[in-house]
Amino acid sequence: MARYFDVHPANPQPRALAQVAAILREGGLVAYPTDSGYALGCLLGNRSGLDRIRDLRQLDAKHNFTLVCSEFAQLGQYVQMSNDVFRAIKAATPGGYTFILTATREAPKVMLQPKRKTVGVRLPQHVTALALLHELGEPLMSSTLLLPGQSEPMADGWTVNDEVGHALDAVLDSGDCGSEPTSVIDLTGDEIVVIRRGAGDLSLFEA
Question: pLDDT of 3-62, one tens digit each?
Answer: 999 999 999 999 999 999 999 999 999 999 999 999 999 999 999 999 999 999 999 878
Q: How confident is the model at residue 207 (pLDDT cuts 50, 70, 90)?
A: low
pTM as predicted: 0.94
Type of residue numbered 53: I
To which CATH superfamily is domain 3-204 assigned? Answer: DHBP synthase (3.90.870.10)
Helix H or strand E encompassing 160: helix 157-164
Give a three-class secondary structure readout of 110-151. Answer: HHCECCCCEEEEECCCCHHHHHHHHHHCCCEEEEECCCCCCC
> CA 104, CA 126: separation in Å to the nearest integer?
26
Spatial contact of 39 and 145, defined as CB atoms under 8 Å apart: yes
Phi, psi of 190 (to 5 degrees): -70, -25
Q: How far is CA 53 from the centre of its chain?
A: 12
Residue 176 has pLDDT above 80, yes or no: no
Check residue 89 and give its pLDDT.
94
